[in-house]
Amino acid sequence: MEIKQSQFIVSNEDYRKCPEHDKPEYAFIGRSNVGKSSLINMLTNRKSLAKISENPGKTMLINHFLINDQWYLVDLPGYGFAKRSKKLRARLRKIINNYILNREELTLLFILIDVRHKPIKSDLDFIHWTGEQGIPVALIFTKADKTRKHELNSNIELYKQELKKNWEELPKIFITSALKKQGRDELLAYIEQINKE
Ligand code: GDP
């Protein structure tokens, strides 16, 4: 699939106010600084599309981008911000959980993980939670250019070992680099394939 059109539509706190439509939604989530904006810009071939979600006030919102008039790319707020107050984190968690658990159009949730690090508890907890809730997910390991191959493989293997404790079948895994445009074709082909099903 080639992305010919990508357009910011709306930001929301409440999943019920998201666009009314029958188009599939592919949502992206991860810890702050994981490389989510860079990945979204890489996928859409836009220098600063995801910047819109970074405007003050929008980092805590659900941001919808319409792609090729066919599907929505949904930029979700990050989770696991240690620096934020407990109250704020609880509010964010509610926004995220309500969207993930209730949004019928949610077709697939991409969970982004910085491949330079060994498994982080908050990432594992979040992935396990999506599994328990029966949410269709895929994992995207980001910043592949920033780590050596053996370290990359070893970190991904550690994630797999952890996930195998709870998951019968592991989610699909992508390895990406926004810098090198690695993983772009695979991700878009995967979305296209699901859209056709
Ligand atoms: P976000 O907070 O998850 O949206 O993360 P950003 O996309 O803003 O990226 C955080 C930092 O990581 C920025 O300095 C990016 O330039 C850098 N970054 C993101 N993706 C990559 C990548 O694939 N390779 C490299 N080398 N740096 C990246």
Please state the ipTM of this predicted complex.
0.99
For residue 20, the CA-to-ligand 1 centroid distance in Å is 32
What was the pLDDT predicted at 94?
Answer: 92
- C-beta 34 within 6 A of ligand 1: yes
- C-beta 143 within 6 A of ligand 1: yes
Please list the residues that pair with 108 across neighbouring strands. 26
What was the pLDDT predicted at 80?
Answer: 66
CA-CA distance, 28 to 72, in Å (whole number)? 11
- C-beta 48 within 6 A of ligand 1: no
Among 31, 36, 38, 46, which is best to mutate for testing ligand 1, by the most ligand atoms less than 8 A from CB? 38
- C-beta 35 within 6 A of ligand 1: yes
List pLDDT tens digits, range 55-79.
Answer: 655 668 899 999 999 999 999 988 7
Count Cβ atoms below 10 Å from residue 95 Cβ, excluding itself. 18
Q: How far is CA 32 from CA 71, 79, 90, 195, in A?
A: 25, 7, 16, 28
Please list the residues that pair with 8 across neighbouring strands. 65
Q: Which domains does the chain have, with CATH numbers?
A: 6-196 (3.40.50.300)
What was the pLDDT predicted at 90?
Answer: 87
Report residues of the chain scoring pLDDT below 70. 52-59, 80-84
